[in-house]
Structure 1
Amino acid sequence: MKHIVIGTAGHIDHGKTSLVKALTGIDTDRLKEEKERGITIELGFAHLDLAGGRMGIVDVPGHERFVKNMLAGAAGIDLVMLIVAADEGVMPQTREHLAICRLLGVKTGLVALTKKDLVDPEWLDLVRQDVGEFVRGTFLEGRPVIPVSSATGEGLDELRAALQQAVEGAAEKSSRGIFRLPVDRVFTIKGFGVVVTGTLFSGSIRAGERVEAFPRGLEARVRGLEVHGAQVEEAPAGLRTAVNLQGVEKREILRGDVLGRPGELKPTYMLDVHLQHLPDAPRPLRTRGRVRFHAGTAEVMGRVALIGKDALEPGESAFAQLRLEAPVALLPRDRFVIRSYSPVVTIGGGEVLDVTPRKHRRLRASSQELLEGLREGNESERLRILLREAGPEGADVRGLTGRLTLTPEEIRAGIQAQAKAGALRVIDPEAGLALTAEHFAGVQGAIEGFLAAYHKANPLRPGAPREEVRGKAGGATERVFDAALAGLVSGGKVREESALLRLASHKVQVGEELGKFKERIEGVFRAAGFQPPSLEEAMAAAGAGANAGRQALQVLVNEGVLVRMKEGLVFHRANLQEAQARLEGHLRGKKEITAAEFRDLLGITRKHAIPLLEYFDTARVTLRVGDKRVLRQR
């Protein structure tokens, strides 16, 4: 069974509602004002039984004042029935409604020439020819034009047959992908509570599932589903669907909201789009111009930031960024319409490319290339483009959900497939965090490049601190840096020792003269025992100048032979080990020690005793309790 939604379109008083009633027996005008004035104001809904099943019908208002309501209904249709009254022919809203259908991506339909009983055959033939000229170059060119009378019933059988044929050739919405139902009506039913209706754009929904109303962030439970007046357990894409919600109030949900699964859509104030300016638009569209934005069943105000242009002439197209005054919940590939702020007329529309873009510089060529790729690529290519745009930070399944038409499970599968092909590197399989192979190689190259420069500038240092290297790793996050470093270490290109990183090829080169000073300075500190000299005293005793002495001292510290402490003190590691052995021996017997007792134990002054005790505290040898130290339990 095919699931197709048929929509009416056409000028006011051309007989759209009467024709729907003649076809289905359902009067879609339900408001008192509609009955009194004889015009359609709000959307009306009916269903038509054809050989392929029961098709939904959305009847839209034709008055120019209610085009925004027409847009809310037209957003979900698969096939349009353009209504033209034979006694009037093509009128302003006929033109506007067809333009809207084209902008929204409607691909097929037919024309119904209503009120044929009011004109003679010659006039009817002239109107038919006029309609043929009008639809030339559109998706309705070559489609059936069926004269019909709702009053007499003449032509209804031919119209049903033409609709049957059109339905057979129409493309259905996909029940794969993310579940979305843009809300066009909200009401309550006594004993049931809140009910929302809309055309199910994609995916499917089952009774009992939890849903979220975007962009409001309200969660609710699906209490029941109804399609064409019958209760169902599951509703697939392409059906007019009523959803009975539990856990929300009527006032909390409005037309323009979108039902989806929790967390699967990304409310946004900014969209990257491809924009078509209608040929009959009254004036150029200038960048920063304020417009009325219509998508799904939503209408919000916003401004158009053209990319690469200052203005868009009628008939031209361009990439643009829409900056909205209220959030919307859309997906890439969604169609939209824009209308001028004042006077309110339809001036263009197009396709959404990205729902969480960065701000673009207006004339940057890279922005154009990115958007061209998003427009032309399939979902696999778009996934790779978004990950390339994410840079060395990468992106995970959660961050990509809502930026593609895929479910989280489909995104995860896409990442795995591209990783298997070598295009991506997966950093965190559980979260689905990945980045392009090029960016991963770039991070590794940045690590190697920084280490090479570091070794050149600091030839006597064994390596660079890990955190310093991470800060220079091309903007990589900690997880990406860790993965890139792990790859370099396992590949034998980088060594990590004591929180220092070095290229595997790097070795500290100590010349003959420096080696001599190094040996002498080490001897001075070793002989000093627990009361080491100052740096100046040590260098003087070794006969080393300031520059050579400091270099030799730094090499000894880097090698771990000498240990720097507070107050500028430096101890030989062997002396520290001996001091620790005496301290531990004392504590095993006496259980505790004061600073004065420690001073006497080593035969040193307080100047050296306090820094040594603090060093052993930091090294977790001792624990300070009041003014005493005890042996730390290990």
Structure 2
Amino acid sequence: MSNIIIGTAGHIDHGKTALIRALNGLEGDSTNEEKERGITIDLSFSNMSKGQQNIAFIDVPGHEKLVKNMIAGAFGFDYVMLVISAIEGIKPQTVEHIEIINLLGLKEIIVVITKKDLVNKEELELKKEEILEFLKEFDFEIKFISCVSIYDETSIEKLKIQLFSIKNSTKQEENFFRFYVDRVFSPKGIGTVVTGTVLGKKCLIDEKVFICQNQKESKIKNIQVHNQNVLEANISSRAALNLQNVNITNLKKGDLITKKGHIRGFDGIDISFKCLKNKKLNHNQTYNLFIGAKKIDVKVLLFDCITNLETGFATLKANEQLFTIFGEKIILRSGNETICGGTILNPIIDPMKKNQKKRLLEALDKKDFTSAYKELLEAHKKGLGIISSTQRFALSHEEAINFAKNMSDVFIDEKELVIYPLDTKNEIKDYIKEIYTKNSYALLSNSSINLRLKWASQAFIQLCLDELVNENFLIHETSLYKNANIKEDFTKDLENIVLQRLKDEDIEPTAPYNIYDDLDIDRKLGDDILKSLTSKKQVIRLQHNLFIHFESLNKIVKTMKEIIKKDGYIELSNFKQRFDLSRKYLITYLDYLDNYSDIKKVDTKRIFS
């Protein structure tokens, strides 16, 4: 079934609710009886269907409530139905709604002139001309204009035909599912249910979802679309989702449900904004931010201004995390007054200089993603994750990679989905050179360098290693790289070095990986060296990561047996008195004693058998 969501706008007394009731016989309400019916979908919404077409109306009576709920619901609108009385025409409240629609970027509108039975034909035609003339000031696409009376069934039927003739949802599928919660309730025996509009991508029954505000994963147990149980809900569907293992107290209006891993939260966002006529946005002042179904207080910090502006860029700071994506529309209000509309340009706050941030916002405002990448890469010398492009630019991974490919002087790791400034490879090459310069016997692999430079992907490291080989600084042997100035095989020398290191460390040997790092050798090579030394009995393995020189072990065992001779036993306490070692070593050596036939364990003590 195709779905269209139409939001109503207009003056409180111009007949919006009566018109909806005449079209579909329903009047949305939010009574307790409605809530108790079960998983009901449209508590204050209604719909009408014809064949495989469904039209959902979002209409909330009451002027101030209408403004707030229109903002809250507008992110889900496909079309706006502007309802204007033939008697009064455009009123100040109608103008406010039109301005808000315009600020939210909603372009496709339907104009319905109500109460046509209360004026003559000439007056009706004059009102129509006045309305169309006023709307010329805005960049709207008027689908049609219709004159009706709720007492004239023919006019209502004509409007129905016109409504069912408009195209399906114009929303484009995005990279991931999003769902702003506009209601939360818990019918008896069912659990937690949320209602809202499906955005981005469809959602499926039994699909895992993620609640951003409380960082909790859940699963969709059931879906209803217009009071019908369904297996999935498509874009622009008004849907009720029955969520698994979520307490009703952990959800509230405005929370965002999405897929895990796509959206991060920040306490600030950067926007472009444009104020209504005769309005200005003040620097360092608190406003009400409306985004999706959420309302929250934010402090406005203007760019390049410490007084006020009619249009420009601003950072909005909140006392909680905001989960947003590039291109989302917002409204800022002060009390009951709408001040401006805005577009989110930068949903991810990066540490950047002010001039750099402004260049980034100017690029994003033009959707010049190539320039935006360049600015971000200046702030992310150690790699910019392509996966964040779904939130940063509303781009898929493929689109983000294609934009990056059009850039010069970058390295793109398509497997790890990271972009690096190409000049960053010099930092990696210098790091590798320093290792081999300080330690001529270094033998490292790509993976061992990656362990030290966790920010650099193996593909980027490989590019650097290949260049160092071409520059005759390194020689590549199997998976290892050695200093090109040393021609002989020094693996045997490394074995002697490791053995001497363990001998010097005596009864407090360090973990193998510490030895490998200190000697600048690859971990696999180091493991092979220890295996060789162990097979020759020159080194004894006591635990997974504890190797000791055989002479040191023999010495500690001899001393432990002398303690038994003197005290009659050995245990942790009298062992600790003789050797100020950590419990790790003490317990390991006590356990090792159990391998000797002349030793037996009684409770916590070791004695001669």
Structure 2 residue aligned with 1:411? 397
Structure 2 residue aligned with 1:583? none
Q: Are the aligned partners of 1:43 and 1:59 in contact in 2 as well (CA < 8 Å)?
A: no
Cα distance in 2 for partners of 1:359, 1:390 equals 7
Cα distance in 2 for partners of 1:487, 1:285 equals 55
Structure 2 residue matching 1:130: 3-state secondary structure? helix
% identical equivalent positions:
28
Change (3 A) 1:171 1:139: farther
In the TM superposition, 1:562-601 aligns within 5 A as none
Structure 2 residue aligned with 1:348? 340
Change (3 A) 1:102 1:51: farther
Residues 388-445 of structure 1: per-residue CA shift (max 9 Å, x gap)? 2552211345555533435xxx42685489569987535583xx24223xx1x31233
Change (3 A) 1:127 1:465: farther
Residues 130-164 of structure 1: per-residue CA shift (max 9 Å, x gap)? 32232112244655332211233352233224324
Change (3 A) 1:199 1:428: closer
The answer to whether the aligner puts 1:393 opposite 2:391 as a matched pair is: no
Cα distance in 1 for partners of 2:378, 2:286 equals 28
Residues 47-93 of structure 1: per-residue CA shift (max 9 Å, x gap)? 13357711211113341255222211222101000111222222222
Residues 486-539 of structure 1: per-residue CA shift (max 9 Å, x gap)? 233233353389xxx999799xxxxxxxxxxxxxxxxxxxxxxxxxxxxxxxxx
Structure 2 residue matching 1:138: 3-state secondary structure? coil
Cα distance in 2 for partners of 1:368, 1:71 equals 28
Structure 2 residue aligned with 1:329? 323
Structure 1 residue aligned with 2:470? 491
How far off is 1:386 after superposition?
A: 7.8
Structure 2 residue aligned with 1:263? 261
In the TM superposition, 1:427-442 aligns within 5 A as 427=413, 429=415, 432-436=416-420, 439=421, 441-442=422-423
Q: Quick check: 93-102 or 124-133, which moved more?
A: 124-133
Q: Partner amino acid for 2:423? A: G
Q: Are the aligned partners of 1:397 and 1:412 in contact in 2 as well (CA < 8 Å)?
A: no
Change (3 A) 1:105 1:370: same
Structure 1 residue aligned with 2:298? 302
Structure 2 residue matching 1:241: 3-state secondary structure? strand
Q: Quick check: 441-450 or 327-336, which moved more?
A: 441-450
Structure 1 residue aligned with 2:552? 623
Larger radius of gyration: 1
Q: Are the aligned partners of 1:10 and 1:62 in contact in 2 as well (CA < 8 Å)?
A: no
Q: Are the aligned partners of 1:108 and 1:139 in contact in 2 as well (CA < 8 Å)?
A: no
What is the TM-score with the length of structure 2 in the denominator? 0.69
Change (3 A) 1:264 1:476: closer
Q: Are the aligned partners of 2:351 and 2:379 in contact in 1 as well (CA < 8 Å)?
A: no
The answer to whether the aligner puts 1:374 opposite 2:364 as a matched pair is: yes
Q: Are the aligned partners of 1:17 and 1:29 in contact in 2 as well (CA < 8 Å)?
A: no
Structure 2 residue aligned with 1:291? 287
Cα distance in 2 for partners of 1:51, 1:419 equals 46
Equivalent of residue 225 in structure 1, options 223, 226, 229: 223
Structure 1 residue matching 2:411: 3-state secondary structure? strand
How far off is 1:3 after superposition?
A: 2.8
Change (3 A) 1:625 1:117: farther
Equivalent of residue 178 in structure 2, options 180, 186, 198: 180
Q: Are the aligned partners of 1:397 and 1:411 in contact in 2 as well (CA < 8 Å)?
A: yes
Q: Are the aligned partners of 2:360 and 2:376 in contact in 1 as well (CA < 8 Å)?
A: no
Equivalent of residue 443 in structure 1, options 401, 420, 424: 424
The answer to whether the aligner puts 1:477 opposite 2:455 as a matched pair is: yes
Change (3 A) 1:622 1:418: farther
Q: Partner amino acid for 1:393? A: K
Structure 1 residue aligned with 2:578? none
How far off is 1:462 after superposition?
A: 8.0
Structure 2 residue aligned with 1:548? none
Cα distance in 2 for partners of 1:390, 1:196 equals 39
Change (3 A) 1:56 1:490: farther
Cα distance in 1 for partners of 2:49, 2:187 equals 26
Structure 1 residue matching 2:552: 3-state secondary structure? strand
Structure 1 residue aligned with 2:162? 162
Q: Are the aligned partners of 1:43 and 1:69 in contact in 2 as well (CA < 8 Å)?
A: no
Unaligned runs of 5+ in 1: 35-41, 507-559, 567-590, 593-616
Q: Partner amino acid for 1:230? A: Q
How far off is 1:299 after superposition?
A: 0.7
Cα distance in 2 for partners of 1:140, 1:158 equals 23
Equivalent of residue 252 in structure 1, options 242, 250, 253: 250
Equivalent of residue 320 in structure 1, options 314, 320, 329: 314
Q: Are the aligned partners of 1:6 and 1:56 in contact in 2 as well (CA < 8 Å)?
A: yes
Structure 2 residue matching 1:47: 3-state secondary structure? strand
In the TM superposition, 1:509-520 aligns within 5 A as none
Q: Are the aligned partners of 1:623 and 1:629 in contact in 2 as well (CA < 8 Å)?
A: no
How far off is 1:256 after superposition?
A: 0.3
Structure 2 residue matching 1:155: 3-state secondary structure? helix
Change (3 A) 1:31 1:119: farther
Cα distance in 2 for partners of 1:96, 1:16 equals 16
What is the TM-score with the length of structure 1 in the denominator? 0.67
In the TM superposition, 1:83-98 aligns within 5 A as 83-98=83-98
Unaligned runs of 5+ in 2: 35-41, 487-496, 505-536, 539-545, 560-609
Change (3 A) 1:417 1:127: closer
Structure 1 residue matching 2:380: 3-state secondary structure? helix
Cα distance in 2 for partners of 1:420, 1:96 equals 44
Structure 1 residue aligned with 2:600? none
Change (3 A) 1:414 1:398: closer
Greater relative CO (CA pairs within 8 A, separation 6+):
2
Cα distance in 2 for partners of 1:296, 1:100 equals 14
How far off is 1:171 after superposition?
A: 5.2
Q: Are the aligned partners of 2:409 and 2:423 in contact in 1 as well (CA < 8 Å)?
A: no
Structure 2 residue aligned with 1:425? 411
Q: Partner amino acid for 1:245? A: L
Q: Partner amino acid for 2:283? A: T
How far off is 1:347 after superposition?
A: 0.9
Structure 1 residue matching 2:146: 3-state secondary structure? strand
Q: Are the aligned partners of 1:78 and 1:107 in contact in 2 as well (CA < 8 Å)?
A: no
How many residues are paired up?
Answer: 492
Structure 1 residue aligned with 2:67? 67
Structure 2 residue aligned with 1:517? none
Residues 445-476 of structure 1: per-residue CA shift (max 9 Å, x gap)? 34567899x89xxxx97879999xx99xxx99
Q: Partner amino acid for 1:310? A: I
